[in-house]
Amino acid sequence: MKTIKTTLLFVLFLCFSISLTQAQQAYLVHQDNVKPSKVMEYEKIAKEFNEASKKHNVQATWYVAMTNGFQYYYLTPIENMAELDKRPFADMAKAMGDDFGGMFDRFDQCYSSHGDYIIVQDNELSYMPEGKTTAPEDENYRKWFYMYYSPKNAEKIKAGMQAVKAYFKEKNSKEYYRVYKNGFGQMKNYYLVSISAKDEVDSATKAKANQDVLGSFDERWAVFSKVMDYTSKTEEFSGEMRPDLYYMPKE
């Protein structure tokens, strides 16, 4: 039994290493599903946590996104699985004593569930201006589209995603997007498409202009169906990036 477990962990590690090599960047995600009645309290504690991290110069980096449904995502870029063994808050916890644990006790009162997992950015499937991998700094509004699929359709849906990117490129579309896929710690297979804009109005304007660029509904569907035919479920969320909650250590 021990041998089987060791072999399985090795295979998982190998698969994840291959994903990092092919897709370039992985993120450790901490997700908090915040209760609507506790949003303001959560925001207060989150800002306190950021200030404490700055004071103790925590050696970690994270970006923050939130949906309109009050899900908060803390994304830390990682290079390999070994980084999961790091304890960046150890010195901070020691210095703060009981106040450190008390801050997380207060956090616990604000969400119905939370957890950690990994997502992987797939630049091969993303459609961005040449050489770009991130959204413009002034575009913090987001539309997120999840497309779930069964393992047996992995290659077919990937081919569909490649076809969509080629279609956008052929039409010289100006609506850019980044693609992420599920990583370690998640049971479901999905692609996540992230589209940025300055605000909700800008997002709707870009979407309408993009429809005109891509052509008629029939023409668009002929390409998009190469993805949708192998998609078992879709989800759509809107929200925003939260630069005020970002954190980077001092150099």
| Topology of the domain comprising 120-239 | Alpha-Beta Plaits (3.30.70)
Q: How far apart are CA 248 and CA 251, in angstroms?
A: 9
pLDDT band at 84 (very low <50, low <70, confident <90, very high): confident
pTM attached to this predicted model: 0.88
pLDDT at 107: 97
What's the average model confidence in pLDDT over 172-183?
97
Q: Does domain 27-118 have CATH number 3.30.70.100?
A: yes
Least confident interval from 12-16, 131-135, 157-161: 12-16
Q: Which residues contact 169 (CB under 8 A, 6 or more apart)?
A: 127
Task: Give tens-digit pLDDT for 85-144.
Answer: 889 999 999 999 999 999 999 999 999 999 999 999 999 999 999 889 999 999 999 999
Question: Which of 95, 61, 86 is CA-nearest to residue 249?
Answer: 61
CA angle 57, 60, 65 (to 5 degrees): 115
What's the average model confidence in pLDDT over 228-247?
98
Query: pLDDT at residue 192 above 80?
Result: yes
pLDDT band at 81 (very low <50, low <70, confident <90, very high): confident
Domain ranges of the chain: 27-118, 120-239
DSSP letter assigned to residue 177: B
Task: Give tens-digit pLDDT for 23-64.
Answer: 479 999 999 999 999 999 999 999 999 999 999 999 999 999
DSSP letter assigned to residue 245: G
The reply to whether domains 27-118 and 120-239 share a CATH topology is: yes
Q: How far apart are CA 64 and CA 74, in angstroms?
A: 5
